[in-house]
Amino acid sequence: MQTHQHEIAAALRIGLRGMAKAVTVISLCHGSKRYAMTATAVNELSMDPPSMLICVNKAASLFLPLNEGAHFCINILQASQAEISAHCSVKARGEDRFALGSWRNSQLGPPYLLEAQSSFLCRNVSKVEFGTHGIFVGQVEQVHLREQNDPLVYMDGRYGAFRCRTGIGIDA
């Protein structure tokens, strides 16, 4: 990477720290192993077909299974689940990541987190590589919704929640 790109990457990192993001845990099953990873680079994509995308670093343990076509689940965490987020990122590895929370098996393959605010079970249908990352598109096959609507939000190295401030209500 050129010096100029290093400087841009450094500034981009600072800018992205200030971008609030919902916290999810991506989970999947590949062969006899289960994988889970906290992720914020998760996006809605299309409603026809219903689909989402995730961006995953090639250095992550989940990359290889995803690259080989493993289906995956996007679990949106509740504000009370910062501990699970930390557990599935810095605190635990491998199967130990499933020690917190109640995980269930799905028909499609990936385990899903029973207490998550919502879980989207996705068929791995498309991938693109760019730089250090893979972009994986998942066609949503099953949705689990819970009543709670208070998602965990991550910003500037801290966990928190959404607070309605302006009272302006519109549908984007």
Q: By CB under 8 A, what part of segment 60-119 binds a copy of itself?
A: 76, 79, 82-83, 85-86, 89-90, 117-118
Q: Which stretch binds a copy of itself (CB under 8 A): 16-24, 26-34, 63-71, 100-108?
A: 16-24
Give, as one character, the DSSP assignment of residue 78.
B
Least distance CB 66 / a copy of itself (angstroms): 15
Nearest to 36 by CA among 108, 107, 91, 79: 91
Give, as one character, the DSSP assignment of residue 98.
G
Residue from 31, 93, 107, 130 binding a copy of itself (CB under 8 A): 130
Q: Which is nearer to a copy of itself, 31 or 172 (CB)?
A: 172
Q: Is residue 63 within 8 Å of 115, Cβ to Cβ?
A: no
Q: List the interface residues with a copy of itself, window 35-54 (CB under 8 A).
A: 38, 40-53
Residue 151, preceding peptide bond in cis (omega within 30° of 0): no
Q: Which is nearer to a copy of itself, 39 or 70 (CB)?
A: 39
Least distance CB 54 / a copy of itself (angstroms): 9
Using CB under 8 A as the binding rule, whether residue 59 contacts a copy of itself is answered as: no
Give SS3 for 47: strand
Q: Which stretch binds a copy of itself (CB under 8 A): 8-16, 27-35, 61-69, 107-115?
A: 8-16
Take residue 68 and report the two structure tokens written for it: 């080989």
Place of tokens 């269930």: 104
Q: Is 55 exposed, middle or buried (0-12, 13-18, 19+ CB in 10 A)?
A: middle
Residue from 19, 64, 99, 114 binding a copy of itself (CB under 8 A): 19
Using CB under 8 A as the binding rule, whether residue 124 contacts a copy of itself is answered as: no
Strand ranges for 42-132 from DSSP E: 42-47, 50-57, 72-76, 103-104, 112-113, 118-130
* Amino acid letter, residue 23: V
Q: Which stretch binds a copy of itself (CB under 8 A): 6-14, 27-35, 63-71, 100-108?
A: 6-14
